[in-house]
Chains A and B, each alone.
Chain A
Amino acid sequence: MNKIKVEILFPEFCNLYGDIFNMKYLQKCLLDAEFINTSFQKIPRFVEEDITLIYMGPMTENMQEKVIDKLTPYTKKLKELINNGTIMLFTGNSMEILGEYIEKEDGSKITGLSIIPINAKRDMMNRFNCLFLGERKSYEIVGFKSQFTMCYGNNENNYFAKSKKGIGLNRNSKFEGYEENNFIGTYLLGPILILNPEFTKEILIKMGVQEPKLALEDDVIQAYKQRLGEFNSI
């Protein structure tokens, strides 16, 4: 098996809400893997070399525009990687970068990379918060949403999780996030890999780990079960 390489895009900026611990935790689960922190000034490593997983976390609205500019020259490459099955995990509003556009309150639009068929609409004075409980494959996903945007687009056949509690892409949607091949985009924030041991194992298996063993597995599973109980009872 080739060495596992994980590229974290622009961690100095795309690091709101503790999301960067998704990668710190993954690193504890993958002690032999190479983790690459690609700063904003650098050319992403996925352009020139094989990367097992590309990760990008949430960022400020101003930064979204800069990241779109930064990644625009690599649009074709990103599309190719998604088509080829490279694993990607984009959390929070980072998924919007790959969408068609982000509409501001004044109606103006920021053009995205148009790799995935979604668009987002901002409402900066009304932040939306909710807990999320959803079904994914044979297990459940727990998490939190906190966002200025609502997202639109048909993801009925390409969702990350189907909502049991909390909203999907928008208030009228039951389908959360976007999944295509091994690309997963989700508005869930914070340390979702720590919160969701089953999902983390799924990611590890995708990455080629035969029998994944999680870091702090007993505690993480105990916390997951407790949270599932709480979310189901709310």
Chain B
Amino acid sequence: MGRIKYVIALILARLAIIVLKLIRRDASYFPGKIAVTICPDFLGRIGKPEIIIGVTGTNGKTTVCNMINDILIENGYDVINNRLGSNVNSGIATTFISGATITGKSKHKIAVLEIDERSAKKIYPYVKPNFLVCTNLFRDSMKRNAHTEFIYNILTENIPKETMLILNGDDLISANLAPENKRVYFGIDRLDTDTEESHNIVKDIICCPKCNTELKYDYYRYNHIGKAHCPNCEFGTPEIDYLATKLDFEEKKLIINEKGQVQEYKMISDNIINIYNMIAVVTVLREFGISSAILKNSFERMKIVETRFEEETINNIKIIMQLAKGQNPIACSRAFEYVSKIKGNKVVIILLDDLHDATNSSECIAWLYDTDYEFLNNDSIKQIIVGGVRCIDEKIRLELAGIEENKIYCSKDEIEAVKQIELEKIDSVCILYDLYSMKLKEKIKKQVENIIEGNENSNE
């Protein structure tokens, strides 16, 4: 019976792919949804590549997957991925169907899969990655992911025993996932910018999970990322196998000690999150068997995809566009800290409303209060423009962060809000946007370009 269900599911899913492609609709989720609905263990039955590299974690999954894919494809590996599709079980089923023969055998040697943490229970019983990267575990969407303990438990209970884990050793939550599994750690050595006191609202690991004693942090990098140990037992930051020992922001170079071998790579971004992402990629691909020389060459040509970060200069004013991810307090806090540290005077434009809720509901704003708006309380930020339905809520949050009211301009109409931009003595305009507001981001970018070029009025 199971076999019959599987065959029907495969045929109907394939038909769905053909029809959706013919009518030019997204075929990355629905066919897989049909398949797993008809045959719940479809993922276990469909043919899969010999090697599966999975990437999970709160932040950085997509960037890490994109980098792994780019490097493997550039170097001639035969790869399928869910780059254009969903990272839940249906999306992964669609990926395998698309990469299989008519009888359901995989046509590819390697799969690189972005895997949603929350979907672990529906995926790992059937898909057993050879390597699983966990970028980090942080507080994320309250409605879906609740808190890190919940996600940690889901992952630990479901990650296959045979999977080799590639873990962020500077993150004491994800570093301890699935303790029985083989693992390799990546991390970054102490930086000049690390501090002995925490500067963030959210710290999701404070006490030792083994004996409950308060952890002693040697230094904090951000949130619970840093180096810590339990004064009462052996729990603490593990020894790092792939350790970035030097970050040269001027020369854009990154030195990584790879299990005793020192290698230099081009630093593809000066954002600490992307540096972690890059080290995660180096670690998994080195463990997979790719040489440092090949990786070095690939990183020389690599750029972070433009949906996440863009920069241009018009009339000596930089326009910086940084993905911040609304409802994700850590991603937003990182983006806020990043723009606050950009040299020169800045205007910050915030576009973080949840567009679905803005149209159909009323967004839960609890996440604003887990997010470090305090980073925007900085003398070099001369004006903060907030656009969208939730602008008054954000204004209150900014004021509670100690930012003077006269620096804040807000309007429900984003285009109108941007017209209030004041460019005198401004070196950069930083646009922080949500993953689902790409069209709006482009409109705002165009508006800012026009204002800088003098084609449209500003408040100057």
- Residues in A lying within 8 Å of B, measured CB to CB: 12-13, 16-21, 24-25, 28, 40-41, 60-63, 66, 124-125, 127, 129, 131, 144, 146, 148, 189-191, 194-195, 215-216, 219-220, 222-223, 226-227, 230-231, 234
Task: Write the chain A residue with the least CB distance to B365.
Answer: A190
**B397 smallest CB distance to A (angstroms):** 8
List residues 138-186 of chain B with CB under 8 A from any CB of chain A. 139, 142-144, 146-147, 149-150
**B38 smallest CB distance to A (angstroms):** 22
A148 touches B146 (CB 8 A): yes
B149 touches A146 (CB 8 A): no
Could you name 9 residue pairs across A and B whose Cβ atoms are closer than 8 Å?
A17-B366, A18-B369, A28-B400, A131-B361, A146-B364, A146-B366, A148-B150, A191-B366, A223-B392
- In Å, the complex CA distance between A41 and B206 comes to 12
Q: A18-B366, A24-B400, A60-B150 in contact; A127/B144 too (CB < 8 A)?
A: yes
A25 touches B400 (CB 8 A): yes
- Residues in B lying within 8 Å of A, measured CB to CB: 121, 139, 142-144, 146-147, 149-150, 201, 203, 206-207, 212, 214, 361-362, 364-370, 392-393, 395-396, 399-400
A190 touches B396 (CB 8 A): no
Task: Write the chain B residue with the least CB distance to A12.
Answer: B206
Task: Name which of A17, A63, A124, A131 has the most chain B CB atoms within 10 A of its CB.
Answer: A17
A191 touches B369 (CB 8 A): yes
A146 touches B143 (CB 8 A): yes
**B388 smallest CB distance to A (angstroms):** 12
Task: Write the chain B residue with the least CB distance to A133.
Answer: B362
Counted as pairs of residues, one from A and one from B, with CB atoms less than 8 Å apart, the total is 89
Given A127-B144, A216-B400, 17 more A-B residue pairs with CB atoms under 8 Å apart are: A12-B206, A13-B206, A19-B369, A21-B400, A25-B400, A60-B149, A61-B149, A62-B149, A127-B143, A127-B146, A129-B364, A131-B361, A144-B366, A189-B366, A219-B399, A230-B361, A234-B362
**B420 smallest CB distance to A (angstroms):** 17
* CB-based closest 4 A-B pairs: A18-B369, A190-B366, A230-B362, A21-B369
A18 touches B370 (CB 8 A): yes
**B398 smallest CB distance to A (angstroms):** 10
Residues of A within 8 A of B144 (CB): 127
Task: Write the chain B residue with the least CB distance to A60.
Answer: B149
- In Å, the complex CA distance between A40 and B393 comes to 32
**A226 smallest CB distance to B (angstroms):** 6
B142 touches A146 (CB 8 A): yes
A124 touches B142 (CB 8 A): no
Residues of A within 8 A of B212 (CB): 66
Task: Write the chain A residue with the least CB distance to B139.
Answer: A16
Residues of B within 8 A of A16 (CB): 139, 142, 147
**B326 smallest CB distance to A (angstroms):** 14
- In Å, the complex CA distance between A127 and B207 comes to 26
- In Å, the complex CA distance between A216 and B369 comes to 16
B400 touches A220 (CB 8 A): no
